[in-house]
A = this chain, B = another copy of it.
Amino acid sequence: MKPAYGADPNRYQFIPRVLVIVTHGDRVLLLRRSQHKRLWPGKYNAPGGHVELGEDPHQAGLRELVEETGIRVEMLHLRGLITAETGLDGSGVLVFVFRAEAKDVTLKASEEGQPMWVARSELSELDLLPDLPQLVELTLDQPAFFYLYKVPTADGGEMNRVRLIPRG
């Protein structure tokens, strides 16, 4: 059978992820990643994960938020997109970055890690994923929609470009 919608699998593709920045007052919801995680064990990140077949990105964000932290919200607001080159032949990473405000603050841990509420002023004391401070600022401290483009560099660093689009 021919693929629907003219889809051509030889095109450049993105592995889709979601990241959810949830606040309650001046606190941000973080997850200390389990020590057994393949990626970034023991580090602090916002909740998130992959978009799976059958989901739109909004559904994936709500699902990951509940699974990883026990927090249920009615809706998520898309605040920006991260596109990252990976070195893979033909596949980048695309991250949908959402924000939400929690009413209930009761947390529930999972195998993914330990969720916790952290005051903004204490974020810098934690072993955060490197891009989290920038993402928290882009999501919470300015109103424009953001596009963050990242390319790893040969020295182990990255090129990181931000484009801000005022709300229309």
Contact = CB atoms under 8 A, between A and B. Distances in A.
Interface of A: 1-9, 11-16, 38-40, 50-59, 75-78, 81, 83-88, 91-94, 99, 145, 147-150, 152, 158, 163, 165-168
A132 to B, nearest CB: 13
Given A53-B85, A53-B92, A86-B4, A13 B14 contact: yes
A86 B9 CA distance: 10
When all copies of this chain in the complex are counted, the total is: 2
B77 A13 contact: no
Contacts of A11: 15, 50
Nearest to A76: B165
A84 B4 contact: yes
B12 A52 contact: yes
Contact of A93 (B7, B12, B39, B145): B7
11 contacts: A2-B87, A5-B150, A6-B38, A12-B15, A12-B50, A12-B53, A53-B92, A56-B148, A77-B165, A78-B78, A78-B145
